[in-house]
Structure 1
């Protein structure tokens, strides 16, 4: 048959099967449209305001719409076709069927449908739910004004504690999640004492730019004005504005181009001054107030009918203020004694009668929660929080340190126990709603609500003088330094000066004076003369060349903090009269070269911090037998200080970054109370294993053992296999190569050692294990994991990070059963420059290797695999081994030319098809090797190719 005849025959065959093929096409199109509906459902969930559709997804949706239209037209053509035209249409149906199949396959393989929009600026804030219809009505009103292009400025006003900030935080979060009308949302909290520079810095920080450090506020305002004027569709929220604010002074332009200004204030005049659309924040109605009070006080209280009338009366005393309701109800949570409830009602009534005005009523209601602490130390801990600036996010560690210095957290047998006690106090104050978590770093900071802080300062008046963070340029006048003062905080006034002509404040009861980070350059000589009761003096973060001699006459001084002060010298006699000094912090004074000899006579000194004094040499410590904490980090010392061996009460010793090269035998074993011990591991200073093992109270250790023999002596000296420190960085042998991940708190690194039949004894709680540049004595059939010697009946329950670097004579890294028993928490595996390595996970027997069923190595936390320069590596695990690790984030393989298979088991989607692990970020493999690699699952290579770097 000639070519033309063949074409005609094919043409007729296409026409005869057209109806059948068209039915197949319509069925496949139906499947494609079903997938389109599924993807549209996913899109509706993923496509939030801060996201946009991927370009390839957008094209896919368009192509699906197009193919639907084309097939509809094709159906119409088929209906009106004759025998000749049907043949041509049959070819078209075949092509459309193939195109539908390709679209269906592509639509199934999108890892995500959306990506982030880069231009979004904003921060989601932690908040609570709205209570009551009135609050919801206010929120709806604010939202309506935001959506109204005719309203540019909105002012929400109402009394303190009424929930303005809560509503505004919810508005902030809703703007970020539920609308595309605005792409920049800036949240600024305004302090009671308005500071223009601080507001300017906060706006710039939110916009991720830096304001020029010009002294002229007008120039700074110009910078802010220009930056905001170039933006459109932004919302600027100024929360808690106490006074009339000039937008021009800050540099805030009149809102235009779709931008909005939102402010909250306790004063209607402030909103009117700015020309805002006014929104009133009312207190809660009685039903809503009772609902909130009931929620916070707990159902177990409400279940007692005889208590209910009194509980309702107490709730009414809160006057519908959410802050008062939450604090009082939380303080009475779980109380079922009728006498306590009667007393609570009496106290609230008495307080209300003793003050005038609604604000005073709020103070007294919150003070009720303070009074219910029933513990003077707990109350004192709370009041210490008021020493920090308004809206300050107080570091929890810093706050607990202050409580320890004040003697509010008593000394205990363990550093960890002291920290735990501090956190227990924090939790009690949080549970009483007197403090709350910080906004930016809620895990490590706390803060006071401004009303709560005002209440605390009212309680402490006139015993506290607090002017922290107000950018004062001159210290409060001497009349404010009254004789009843117990604590003064002027911290973070970075332009503060003390006039030389100022007479000495007469404050005989003053125990705490905080002047940190004020950039003070000098203090009048007589300033401290009348402060005979001073116990804590914090002058850190200032720029002194010398200190006034009057400090030396503060005989009751227990804490003197002078870190980061740029002190160059201290007179020899300076500490002669400080007989009660317990804490001295001189750390990071780079210019100081020697300490005065008088420091040797401070027999009550318990804490001496000298870290970072890079040029410092120290005198004899033989008389400092009360010393418990000694920090000598980054000092010039070459030998342990004279008399150190006599400090038997020492609990903390830090020698990192010193020039010490040797520690005499027997010295460390004197410190039986030691909890923290750290040496520099990069220099050739070694510790004795038996000595360290005898320090039973050690909680943190960083140091280096000479060899495996010393390390094994240490393990043997521990009285129990799990009796090591709570946190350790133990290095054995040569200088460390790279250490473990920073989040690992229990790390062992063995470097440049001979690992023979005795193996490496390892603590069972180790998190990071590093073996580098070691000579390993292994027979050909042994796996390296057999050299890790655990205590009897133990497994590695916490081992998450393993690094093997430049170790030869290792053919097999792990036995398969060893992996199954010990590496359930493995997150990171790094193997480099092991030139004899052939297998990572090896079968323990031939029968296992030839087994029919696959061995699943389920590593549910495994995130990162790096294999580098392993020229003989043939397999990651045996032919029937599969790694199940859906948490994998990255795979990097370099210079492993014999490796042909990646045994990664891809997770299955809802249709039972392989899909990339959801956590996967990148795969780094050389292109030539990538082409040769084999995968167990079909389509694995094509599914993972988009992640290839």
Structure 2
């Protein structure tokens, strides 16, 4: 091209450009679309009561080694508020994250929508987005994310997500900085997401809860009448400090300045939560999401059943599981052991979903859990078909008497539970009461002296009857034995005097669970006719035990013989009060294999409690062993011939040669594989528990009380006995020693106690040392409880040990406050 041609082309382009500029002379300014901001502040009222939680989570955020943080807790507790506060804090500090995304995860998780949000935030080409080609989409996201420092907030996560496979987001193996923070109602989701740190959000402390309520109510309403703050305190307490409930009630009361309206609101909230303004929509329905996410109908039925326990009631897991078995909820399980395993699985799921929370672990009746009052309200609301049939469940506690208006509610109820009622039922008040729909009746821990016979005649469909802990009952109504549809009957400590179970009980052919105190004398003829019986408990000796001692020997032996022959019985908890009964049990191999709980009470004539190897092996299901008021001097475990290579430990004393089991055999089949709980009380001649401890490697709780002859728990030197220290008490969580006036030591060598959580020592004046170093129970110990004088008199080989454990000590007087 020559210069003339170039010049001509330039002139033509100049003309075109001048024309375009002429068209644009009407514009006074030029604009362009800015880039999306990295983060946008989330509107958030000043959070109340979250400073310490926020600071803990923020410390994790600043720690680059922490890449994934899970925030969990029950619905409405403030998880999202905490997440948003963390999000907004990034706008106040400098950071080098160049990709930030916050998403609310839907139910169920919609992976396509999540990937779409990530794709758009990454500004990947829209024409390349192809949700049908998941592999290519995930690869494109991963390729773009690899060179980024990213921050991902996910709110309300209900299921675990594999970030790399499902979304294309690298996490723990990412070469650059990354942080993933999410909220969930399930600790199980935290575990499956492999979080580095997790934080449970709890309900607010009372003062912070009141501050939140006041903030949402508004100062104008708060100061409008001097009586309002006092009622507000009550409303906050009724909300049980749950933020979602506090906000809902406060907003409903905002602008209400008439004190009478406040007084009515207080009554309404106490009477029926679901009818309070906006409570169904704003609280109960949101909490119901957790219920709806339970895996199957069995989990849901078991959960709803817990509403039969009163508010703030401590629920023993085993207690609830046996009730579930009695109701038939776990009938799909092949046997009682499988049913118990499934029941524990249900409770694990409920704990993980924050529908119940642990109060105390490792008791003879399993873990203890509680339901938050609003979770329980949701539970009752769901069971009553969202409030349309609110009379299906009737729960009452701590009332002075049965009122006629309450008794009339019984006729529509399916489940009734009454707790700590002071006076008896009036016979005349029951004349017109019909409970034709009632399937469950629990009357526990009351001062009832009589129950009229007419009561049970009006309950033809009753399947579960629990009259336990009614010590003052003078007599049981005869109509009980006519309830032929019963599957569960609990008369444990139902009355003090000796009572012979009548022959009519044999008509209860559907009975699966029978729980009796030892003051009920059960004949062989009666028990043998219960063809459906699977769980039989015959324990808890009455204070009037001496009145039936003469008949106990015959009754024990006869009953053990019959139970040995019954094919249906799968689990037994039994108290034996004669030496002959103990001897008989050892000669019943089939029966022994079903014993879950064994108690020896007094057992006159039993000079030594000898447990042979074969007897110990057959006690494969034994979980708890109680020894009360027995006169024997020794517990001799492992007598008889061993199949192994080492010699039986036999009897231990401080002046004989030791034959403790060797490490190779410890925790082998020649030990109690299931024994978790041992309680020994008032066995005044018992010298030590060495043999028992050596054969109970999985022991979790040991409680010894009032054994005046005991100087050492474990005699002999552990190393000299060829048993390494870490083989003794490896699972022990609780050690309690009471009124052991001559106890000088627990054992002679220090022990690691890797699982020990608590030591309680009371009235053991000669115990001057603990078998512990500063490394013992290093990551587990929570408390050492005892008298201040005892603690100050303890001797330590290493001053550092005393310093370490002094932070765990609580005096008995302080513990009782």
- Structure with bigger gyration radius: 1
Q: Which has the higher contact order (CA 8 A, sep 6+)?
A: 2
